[in-house]
Amino acid sequence: MPNLPKDFPDHHDAELVIRLYELRRDPVMRESRNVMFTQFLPKSYEDLKVVATNNANPLNAAYRQTTSYWEMVYGMAKHGIIHADFLMENSGEGIYLYVKAYPWLAQLRADANRRVFENTEWIVNHSEVAKASFARISAAVEKLRAAK
């Protein structure tokens, strides 16, 4: 696996982050992001599996749209296309989805898709900014789960 091959961000990184932001504003993507942040909060593996693996589930399209987008984005960091910490300073939203699935990730990989959240996991393990985001978001999601 690559190890943060870029020592510091440059103008190309800035251009990519701006372009990624613009893509997040697409109406379909914006609606999918909204659905995942307001309606998707699995409390069990079954809650996750029914959304992640069932195309008939009303949340499945939004799940696929957002997770594939963030996997693509974080893959750019994994392969040295964009500076990982700079990206994470501006694009931590995908970590939120990862945190929601994290407790059951091994089971989801075994049952459905061995590569699910692979790039998100990489960035959490290789970017200090992502590690901090993961810890902060994990605490917030646990509070949400406990409240519902």
pLDDT digits (tens, 9 = 90+) for 37-47: 999 999 999 99
Distance between CA atoms of residues 126 and 121, nearest Å: 9
pLDDT digits (tens, 9 = 90+) for 62-105: 999 999 999 999 999 999 999 999 999 988 899 999 999 999 99
Query: Which residues have a Cβ under 8 Å from the Cβ of 21 and sit 6 or more positions away?
Result: 90, 91
Tokens representing 146 are 């406990």
10 confidence band (pLDDT: 50, 70, 90): confident
- Contact criterion met (CB below 8 Å) for 85 and 127: yes
pLDDT reading at 1 higher than 80: no
Using the 8-state DSSP alphabet, how is residue 81 labeled? S
**Single pTM value for the model:** 0.91
- Contact criterion met (CB below 8 Å) for 73 and 94: yes
